Structure formats: structure tokens, C-alpha cells
Amino acid sequence: MTAPLTALPPRAGLSRRFSAMVYDGFLLTALLFVGSWLFLKLFGDATQGPLRYVYQLFLLGLCACYLVYCWSHDGQTLAMKTWGLRVVRDDSSPLTLGNALLRFVLALGSLALAGCGFLWALVDSDRQFLHDRLGGTRIVRAPI
């Protein structure tokens, strides 16, 4: 006798996902301000030369650390917790570190293409972002 199939959690709506993205944007801005202050106190002027690129990579790394850690730890950033969202794999299992890192890289590509990967959700049959579609992840509703 086989176990009954459990229902997958409901997908989160677009307005809730975009609201959480705005909230995460504010949180990342604060993180980048603190990270910038620390970097500039330690290394000085980073507006030119090779240090400029090190500084940019440092800031990108801060964003990656925050998002990848949150997604792979419990599937939620602070904004996602607030809005009752969780990122999971397509089979509803939690993201591994590799899944979270892939999602970050794909989302970065979506953002680099003038946000087209996020706007993809407007035409996608399941209303998924392009990086979630390509990465095998989805954002579902979670208890608040």
C-alpha cells in the first residue's frame, strides 16, 4: 500500500512576492551601508584602481551571503518571513546550499537583464520568476 500524495503548498501571489522583494531591498541597502563603512575604514578610498573592483565584489558577496544563507537555512529571508513566504524546490523540499547559490546567480542574471527575469512572472503560466523556473525552485505561502 502506498502513502497518499500530500498536497503541495500553494504558490505565493505576485503582489506578495514583489512586496517582499522591496522589503528585502531595504534590508540589503542597510547591510551594504554597514559593509561599505567597514570596508572603507579598513582599506580607504575604493573609487579607483583595482580596489574599486574588490569593493564591488565584496558588496556582491555580502548580498550573496545574506540571501544564500537565508534560503538554504530555512527558506526565508526576514522579508519573506514577514510576508509569509518560503522558497522551496519544485518538490517542496528545502533548498540545499547548491540550490540557493544557483538561485542567487540566476536571480542576479535576471536583474542584470533590466529585471526581465522578474517580469517574466507576468507571462509565465505558473507566475514564476525566470530564475525560479530555471533553477527548479518556487516561492510558496508559509505560515506567519
Residue extents of the structural domains in the chain: 14-141
Confidence of residue 5 (pLDDT cuts 50, 70, 90): low
pLDDT over 90 for what percent of the chain? Answer: 92
pTM for the model = 0.91
- What is the model's pLDDT at position 37? 97
Average pLDDT of the chain is: 94
User: What is d(CA 71, CA 84) in angstroms, rounded to the nearest whole number?
Assistant: 14
Q: Tell whether the model's pLDDT for residue 1 goes beyond 90.
A: no
Q: Tell whether the model's pLDDT for residue 128 goes beyond 80.
A: yes
pLDDT digits (tens, 9 = 90+) for 76-126: 999 999 999 999 999 999 999 999 999 999 999 999 999 999 999 999 999
User: What is d(CA 100, CA 67) in angstroms, rounded to the nearest whole number?
Assistant: 8
